[in-house]
Amino acid sequence: MQILCFAHRLEASAFFNHAPNKSITPYLFKADKYYILITGEGMQSATEHLTEVLATTPEINAVINLGVAAGNPEQTELNHVYPIRTLYRQRADLQMEFRSFTTQNKEAQFDVTSTETRIQSSEDANKIFQFSPILDREAWALASVSKRFKKDFFCFKYISDDATKEACSQIKDIAEEISLTLLNAYLNLPTDKNENTEDLIPKGYHFTFTQKNEYEKLLHKISLKKNISPKQLIASFPTFNAKKPNDKTKLLLTFMQEHLDPFTFNIKQRLNEITAKYKNDSLKVSYDKSLESDDLELNIKFTSADDLANKLRNLDSFPFEKVLDLLRGKNVE
């Protein structure tokens, strides 16, 4: 079962007419093949509403966000629907959140940035255009909640406004047209998300089961990011100088991780360098590899009270503030 998420009821009008549905709550409706959720505007409202539904409705396996957005006039056309590939977030302090999410739509080529506040000037819009050509208010939050509940996520944005100009005040006049266009995009949503990667394993490498899964995910995500086929991506891989196939595989995965998200890769490299200095047979400082938490974990083996005291003294020089800044995406060079 899918759940279709709209910020406003007018955006969903064609979907209400497309199939009979019943009201479960003032903002949640159920049709035969999908739920409709009216999230309200903004990331906080979207997060609260979708979290509540997914926590109590386990049969939902996919989240689809459809709605209006503003676009870069040099890269998008008004009154067109764009399937979204990657989702970014601009925080309330106008800084970019370092976490991003990718949809399951393999045909998508456009990215979107969700903003905490409405964009007030072309200068503000142009700053965001460095990351994506489309701006909205909710998509990143919906993708984040979907990730947390392990649901597939798709996103379609109808470009109703030029992001460099004042928002159009006549959207209500064309709401029916917008909703019908979004319905058509939904009905044409690709459903085959399976891809045979057996013939995409490069020669001379040995993959464990876990490594193979990671390789397939990275291959798919980087292909989307670069807008090239997996075979074209594989052909661009450098030659790694390692004698053992296992070592070559590790080098390849590291290379792919860096190219998928250089910012996050740099954070992990910095964290690994710091924590490596405090890692031995009896002492280990570790962090959440997903970077979703800024908690640190300390494991200590000791043989006496004096031994414990010595190990704790060794931690006096541990740069806690620096590590916490890195985990929060701050001060990353």
Q: Compute the CA torsion angle 196, 197, 198, 203 (nearest 10 deg).
A: 160
What's the pLDDT at 124? 79
Fill in the DSSP letter of residue 68: E
CATH 2.40.240.10 fits 2-187, yes or no: no
Distance (Å, rounded) from C-alpha 144 to C-alpha 307?
44
Q: What is the pLDDT tens value at each position of the chain, 333 positions in all?
A: 999 999 999 999 999 988 889 999 999 999 988 999 999 999 999 999 999 999 999 999 999 999 999 999 888 988 899 999 999 999 888 888 878 999 988 778 899 999 988 876 788 788 888 889 999 999 999 999 999 999 999 999 999 888 877 665 466 678 888 999 899 888 776 544 444 556 678 888 888 877 887 888 888 778 767 767 788 888 888 888 888 888 999 999 989 988 888 878 888 888 888 888 777 757 788 887 767 777 888 888 888 999 888 888 878 888 888 888 888 877 666
How much is the pLDDT for 194?
A: 42
pLDDT score, position 170: 61
Phi, psi of 183, deg, nearest 5: -60, -45
Predicted pLDDT at 193: 43
Whose structure tokens read 């255009």?
Answer: 129
- C-beta separation of 156 from 64 below 8 A: yes
- Confirm whether pTM is higher than 0.75: no
Burial code (b: 16+ CB inside 10 Å, e: under 16) for 209-238 equals eebbebbbebbbbbbbbeeeebeebeeeee
pLDDT of residue 42: 93
SS3 of residue 129 by DSSP: coil
Q: Alpha-carbon distance 83 to 225, whole Å? A: 14
